[in-house]
Each structure stands twice: as C-alpha cells, then as structure tokens.
Homo-oligomer: A and B are copies of this chain.
Amino acid sequence: MLNPRNVTASAPGKTILFGEHAVVYGKPAIAAAVDKRAYVSIQEREDKKTHVTINNIGISGFLNIEQGTIELDNGENNEGILKYVLIALMKTGSKDGLEITINLDIPVGAGLGSSAAVTVATVKAASSFKYVKLTRDEIAKLAYQVELIVQGSASPIDTILSTYGGIVYLSRDAEKIIKLDIDSEIPLVIGYTSKRGNTGKLVESVRLKTESNPQVMIPLFNSMEALTNGAREALTSGDHKMIGEFMNINHGLLDAIGVNTDELSKMVYIARKKGALGSKLTGAGGGGSMIAYCPGKFKEVIESINEFENAFKLKISTDGVRLE
C-alpha cells in the first residue's frame, strides 16, 4: 500500500502598520505579513467523514461539508475557528472524507489575523488536494468571501496579506494592492494583551462619532491618509526617524477616535521610553496588540513589555500562501 497522499499548505498572519480604521472611510493602509504561520494538512479518510484537529489551541471536531455542520469532539459549543475551515472547504467544493490537521503558529486574539491565515491555507490545501490550481488572486477572493460569511463583515486586508505576503500598500477599498519593495528585516516588536477588542463594535462606535461630528472626525481620517502615504515613502527610503514619528502620530489619532486602551497606552509608552523610534496600537484596538519600531532596541523593548504583557520580535514574511 502506498503512503496516503498528504497536502500541506501554509499562510502567514499579518499586522497593520498604518491606516487601520481609516480604511473604513476609503483611506489607504499599509500592512505586513508576519513570519507566524498557519499550517493546514489534508489527508483522505476512508470512512467518508471529515475531521479537523487544531493543535496549539486544543480544538477538534467532525465537520459535515455536505450539510454544513460542526460537531466538536469535546461536546462544547466553541466552534471558533472551525467555522472558517468548514466554509473554506464548502467554497472549494471539497467532498467529505478528509482528515485535516492544523498547526497554528500565530497567537489567537493578538490581532495577527489567525483566522485569515487558517482560511487562506485551507483554501490552498483543499484546492491543491483536488488538483485544482487557483491563482493567488482567486485564493484571496475566495478566502475573503469565507471571512464575510463567517463574520458578517470583514476587511480584505487580512486575507490579502495571508495570500500575498510581504509589505503591502492598499489603496482605497483595497482596489489596488501594491507590494512595497522594502527590506523584510524591518525592526518591529509586537506586544499584545490578553484583553481582546470587538472589531465590529469598535468600527460602529467610530462610525457613530463620525456621524455626530463629521467636522471634527473627517480631518482625522485625512491626516491618517497623509501619514500612510508619507509612511510609504519613509519605509521605501528607510527613513527610520520618520517611520517612528508617523507611528506615534497614528497612535494619537487612534486614541482620538476612541479605540485606544489603558493597557495599550502603557505598552506604547514603555516601548518609546526603552528606545523605540515609534509605537502604536495596531488593528481594531479596544485591546489586542501594539507594534513598536525599534532598530537596535529589540531586547530592551521586549523585556520591558514582557514584565506585564506579552511581546516578541516580529519578522516580516515575504512568502504568502504556499504548499509545504
């Protein structure tokens, strides 16, 4: 008997460098894929059932692709990330009878886009398992649809970064995706809290503020647009000081629109104190994570944050989704 066929695909998580929240108002953003990945392996099962195990977070269960149902092994009701896997399998036209193993290298709830990475890797693995070759563009679009179905609303940023990798400038409504030609060794530290923000609620609260005081709020999104465009230039030319300054301004603007927290602020300020040229919350806010731009100061910044939260060095992943 031959060894059973095994297809493994992986996709990176992401972090937003500039422009989060402003994208909702048609402004550009800059995001980067990070070298923390989701690995999705698919093998055939003889019993025509479909079973998924997610290592690292200890979730497993049976999926029924045909009927679109999930039954967790431990009987609990925490379907979590399995929903993304199910919808990704349905969207790729997969048939039941699969044993799927997921290794998640990305901390969940740290704003690093773990769900998008799992979705993109599942789309790639499932299509490859069927000998279907999708273009990156097709993968990104399918994965975005999966996120939309599971979450009700979604930003295309996460799935684009998990698919393409690298550092990407996304123009208005992500209509144009420009890979930036930047040294992938940009000196970033990420710090994250155990407290998780609710993206939907945060976006809604910003929308309400903007509706009640457009004359106050719209200039802030214009400023975010200008600084994202300025940061694109600074990143390309390697102007460390200016990259840091734009991060600091962006952080204040995110505080102004109401998505900063005490915990994030504490990490942001301690990073600057320990030598970071700039630091900001990243992603939706209300908890989650912050990034610090700290050439030559990794150790000091990581240690100081680790005294009360979690931090590690963030390497950019030039590789997007790939077969292993």
Assess the A245–B215 pair: CB atoms within 8 A. no
Q: Which of B227, B246, B251, B256 contacts A249 (CB 8 A)?
A: B256
Interface residues of A (CB under 8 A from B): 209, 212-213, 215-217, 219-220, 222-223, 226-227, 230, 242, 245-246, 248-258, 260-262, 265-266, 269-270, 273
Minimum distance in angstroms from A263 CB to a CB of chain B: 9
Number of copies of this kind of chain in the complex = 2
B216 touches A219 (CB 8 A): no
Interfacial chain B residues near A255, Cβ < 8 Å: 251-252, 255-256
Closest Cβ of chain B: how far from A22's Cβ, in Å? 12
Q: Could you tell me the distance between the alpha carbons of A96 and B245 in the complex, rounded to whole angstroms?
A: 53
Q: Once bound together, how far apart are the Cα atoms of A261 and B272, in whole Å?
A: 10
Are A226 and B219 in contact, with the CB atoms below 8 A? yes
A242 to chain B, nearest CB (A): 8
* Nearest B residue (CB) for A273: B262
Interface pair B230/A223, CB less than 8 Å apart: no
Q: How far is the CB of A134 from chain B (nearest CB, A)?
A: 40
CA distance A7 to B260 in the complex (A): 52
Do A262 and B252 touch (CB < 8 A)?
no
User: What B residues does A252 contact at CB under 8 A?
Assistant: 252-258, 260
Q: 22 A-B Cβ contacts within 8 A?
A: A209-B249, A212-B242, A213-B226, A213-B245, A213-B246, A215-B230, A216-B230, A216-B249, A219-B222, A219-B223, A220-B223, A220-B253, A249-B256, A249-B257, A251-B256, A252-B256, A253-B253, A255-B255, A261-B269, A262-B265, A262-B266, A262-B273
